Amino acid sequence: MPPTIMRQPALTATASYLALESHAADARHWQLRALFAADPQRFPALTTDAAGLFLDYSKNRVDATTIALLLELARERGVEARRDAMFAGDKINLTEHRAVLHTALRLPRGAALTVDGQDVVADVHAVLDRMKEFSERVRGGAWLGHSGKPITDIVNIGIGGSDLGPKMVTLALRSYARPRLTTHFVSNVDGHDIDAVLGRVDPATTLFIIASKTFVTAETMLNAHTARSWFLASATEADLARHFVAVSTNTAAIKAFGIDPANMFPFWDWVGGRYSVWSSIGLSVALAVGFGYFSDLLAGAHAMDEHFRTAPLETNMPVLLAMTGFWNRQFLGCATLSIAPYHQDLSRFPAYLQQLEMESNGKRVTQSGAAVDTPTCPVVWGECGTNAQHAYFQLLHQGTDVTPIDFIATLRATHDLPGHHAALLANCFAQSEAFMKGKTADEVRADLQGGALTAAEIEALVPHKTFPGNRPSNTILMDQLTPLSLGALIALYEHKTFVQGVLWDVNSFDQWGVELGKVLAQQIQSELTGAPAPQRHDSSTNGLILMAKAAQHI
């Protein structure tokens, strides 16, 4: 039965939005320097902590009134009720008529949650138990390849959430990994991706994880069959079961591929791809760092879940992160968000958040199908500090657009190299201060005076060395990057994304925009590989196809 979709009032027509719009007319002229100078208690008033994380949102152009109005909007848009519906297993993914239960994947054993008559928690832990048993056999050397040698390399073949999540987490938890096992990730349909990996591994000691719920994902299955053919060049089909496992629910397809159904690790339709690292999609993580640390990752996320579910909005970290981001997007006109993790092991975290936020909230219609009457998700991008400082921070400091930044750092390193971490934190904190304060013309003049420059030369340099400042940022701190803190960090951004989706009244859990290109690609691929000359496309696409066919002598 199709879902009943209730039409919400337009966002811009709500009383709290109108109050914020009026308030923003003044706030747009605020200067962060002045806000800090006027309130010595600004830092403690605009910080919060939860699940091992600390959030400083004081360097946003907000005050107590702004936050109160934003939280009133959250209440008026039904954030609390929608949150409760998600945790209860209601089918809030209305276009696909599905529950949204990535939070159930990290519930502790014995917790109670029944959906459609099924004990969800028992199902989840049954799969987790199988992941534990399998990962311990591989890591301990008991699982042997067809020639009797233990596994040395894991190759995860997936795409989207089946790649970005486990790859990001495995890199982030590098210091917890077992040295004997090397983990590789293949996602791109570009053959150069899998070619680079296959050139580094030995078929006798390599285990492939094929991560595709349906086992028909085009990019994943092309790579999977390429790996299969490569493996069979030195082995037999009977050997496939020792070297290929599946994260899937399509038993018939995996059997036809040569995978033993006993080595199929399922997950459920209420797990969206970009929320799936907590499920059996995280098998590569469990193999890399061990099931105990994978369990800690789940526990960290669950701690943030419980905070999000129970904390008052005034101290609710995901809500506050979401509302300040919404303020910057809607009322200050900030079209992008830069993620700056000051931790090299979080190098893939910006890319992970790109999918999480932009695939979830990159929508132009509300849940009822009406056009959204405001901008929605900002463009999310970023790079690790301090590399980012020497790449694009120039634009963020002195460019014509204002880009909010999320700085993410740890108070302690997981290495013992002297001097590095103090230098890293100094840069992180200095950049957030510099974006907030900027540098005035008078400060530039004061710096330049007393040198060899004439007054005229100083005045010529002043506009080039002036920084407007007043750039908003958040700083998120944790003690160390551990499985627990990483789990909490990922869940923080998941719930932030959810809250903003509720505000815009979009369905954050479908991704129909991904499908159109896939459909067209199937047709064009047939035309590239021998079908008659293309005729159904525009002249540009037809011309490009003909050029490619000519280059390949088709």
> Which are the catalytic amino acids?
359, 390, 518
* E strand intervals along 389-541: 405-410, 473-478
Residue closest to 467 by CA, chosen among 492, 427, 430, 435: 435
DSSP state of 274: G
If DSSP codes are grouped into helix, strand and coil, which group holds residue 338? strand
Contact 155, 209 (CB under 8 A): yes
Query: How many Cα neighbours within 13 Å face the side chain of 62?
Result: 30
Place of tokens 């299969």: 228
Helix (H) or strand (E) holding 373: none
Place of tokens 């002229």: 29
Cα–Cα dist 482/255, whole Å: 38
CB within 8 A of 322, min separation 6: which ones? 74, 495, 496, 497, 498, 499, 500, 503
Helical pair 120-140 and 291-310, crossing angle rounded to 10 deg? 150
DSSP state of 372: P
Contact 170, 284 (CB under 8 A): yes
Contact 161, 273 (CB under 8 A): yes
Contact 472, 59 (CB under 8 A): yes
Residue closest to 497 by CA, chosen among 318, 305, 308: 318
Cα–Cα dist 262/255, whole Å: 10
Cα–Cα dist 501/329, whole Å: 13
Q: How far is CA 544 from CA 15, 215, 548, in A?
A: 52, 31, 6
Residue closest to 12 by CA, chosen among 320, 325, 331: 331
